[in-house]
Amino acid sequence: MNPLYLFYEKKRVGAFTPDESLRLEFQYDETWIKWSEAFPLSLSLPLQKAVHLHPRPAIFLENLLPEEKIRRTIEQAYKLPKDSPYQFLKEFGEDIAGAFVISEHEEAVSQAGQLIEVPLQTIEDAIEDGQQLYQSMTATYGTKFSLAGAQDKFCIVYQDGKVHVATGSAPSTHIAKVNLDFRNSQTVFNEYFCMKLAEKVGLSVPEVVLIPKPALLIIKRFDRTAQGRTVKRIHQEDFCQAQGIASGQKYEDRGGPGITRNYELIRQHSTQPIKDLEAFLDWIAFNLIIGNNDSHSKNISLLYHEKNIRLAPFYDLLSTTVYERRFSPDFAFKIGSTTRYDAIRRSDIQILEKSIGVRDGKFLKNMARISETIAAHLADVRASLEEQAPMATIGSRIEHEVRQRLKHFRKHGHIIP
């Protein structure tokens, strides 16, 4: 098999090469290493002349791929071998998360392409026909993107209130999400609610736009920046990629990193660790309060920009506990000795605080501050959602769920005073 080449703008960064056993190796180009502005593909693949051997190159690429049903549909439609990041990204590596483009060509290809408007009616028809939008967009418009995660979504350019797709290797500017495919899921409205609530709390989140019909959540990509009509890529990697962990281990109870390990990752690598560590603890507190049990280590990222490494804006915020048995009842991370919010005790908070090296009562203060702000804005965020989307019934369910969780935490004053 031939190598897959990695490019940043028009510079060749390195190559992924299958060995005799089809295991992937990665090596940086010497010209990239010598470039004064060079940065690593990943913290798990540092800049070096020596070859990075299997499995970390394959793990990094695998984390760029869609998961579960989405990946299987694409593999079948394009006759790709199952679970081959090499083959998947050979076909769909032109628009991926972060700053790089993956190509089978030895030289950088032009980013020139055209924007094609996608009528909302076309999207609505596809949804009503039960089509997977990820696969439908690639088949209909020839787009070549890869988005991680299990949810149906696709890359777009959102301009002047209209949805477009970009052909060629031109970068997208936004991600469009549709509802999860179970009855009355309203996950688009749910995520919009939680993202707006997070914004009120003071968490850094990307801009989101709600299109009520068809239900679409338009999310501005934080790994893209626009300079006029020119869009530039900014590098990012999620916490699994940064630590060389496969997506199947994104949850702590499946062998993935817990709060302590992720906290240490930020402490060691952020160029503003005090701010980012505080934001990370606020993110944990926020997810506990809204009932987001899917806040695993692929749903948090590092952003590389102008020689700085910072915690990226938070994304994929969803109250999963409103769906009861549809999602796990366990939080994505252990809080002390438990993953169940209603089993958290003061001793668990103390274990957490000790493990990350903060003073006693620090996380409690974050919980109290976040709780107070959430309680103050819940009703307004719900009203705003229902004004934009009168058909959204999920807002009242989220508000009820969050108030019940706040009530529980207050009842146990050792968690929220």
Say whether both 18 and 69 belong to one domain.
yes
CB 359 within 8 A of CB 186: no
The C-alpha atoms of residue 402 and residue 28 are separated, in whole angstroms, by 48
pLDDT (0 to 100) of residue 304: 96
Question: How many domains is the chain partitioned into structurally?
Answer: 3
Phi, psi at 111, each rounded to 5°: -85, 5
**pTM flag (> 0.75):** yes
DSSP strand pairing (100-103 vs 115-117): unpaired
**Which of 378, 206, 370, 371 lies closest to 278, judged by CA?**
370
Q: What is the pLDDT of residue 211?
A: 98
Q: Do 326 and 303 share a structural domain?
A: yes
pLDDT over 70 (residue 415): no
Q: Please check whether residues 190 and 284 belong to one and the same domain.
A: no
Dist CA 95 CA 103 (whole Å) = 10
Judged against a pLDDT cut of 70, whether residue 416 lies above it is answered with no
Are 309 and 343 in a shared domain? yes
CA dihedral sign of residues 316, 322, 328, 329: positive
145 part of a folded domain: yes
Mean pLDDT of 116-134: 93
| Whether residue 81 is found in the same domain as residue 211 | no
For residue 347, pLDDT beyond 70: yes
Mean pLDDT of 263-268: 98
List pLDDT tens digits, range 289-333.
Answer: 999 999 999 999 999 998 899 999 999 999 999 998 889 999 999
pLDDT one-digit tens code per residue, 89-111: 999 999 999 999 999 999 987 76
51 pLDDT higher than 90: yes
Given a cut of 90, whether residue 164 has pLDDT beyond it is yes
Task: Report which of residues 208 and 134 the model is more confident about.
Answer: 208
Q: Are residues 218 and 238 in the same domain?
A: no
Domain that holds residue 374: 234-245+256-411
Verify that 260 and 314 share a domain, yes or no.
Answer: yes
Residue 362 in this model has a pLDDT that exceeds 80: yes
Rounded to an integer, the average pLDDT of 54-70 is: 94
Are 274 and 365 contained in the same domain?
yes
| Same domain, residue pair 127 and 199 | yes
Same domain, 260 and 336: yes
Please determine, for residue 367, whether its predicted confidence score (pLDDT) is greater than 90.
yes
| 150 within a domain of the structure (yes/no) | yes
In a domain, 250, yes or no: no
Q: Are residues 34 and 83 in the same domain?
A: yes
99 and 166, same structural domain?
Answer: no
Look at residues 39, 68, 103 and tell me which one is the last residue of a structural domain. 103
d(Cα 131, Cα 115) in Å, to the nearest integer? 22
167 pLDDT band (50/70/90 cuts)?
confident
pLDDT number for residue 400: 98
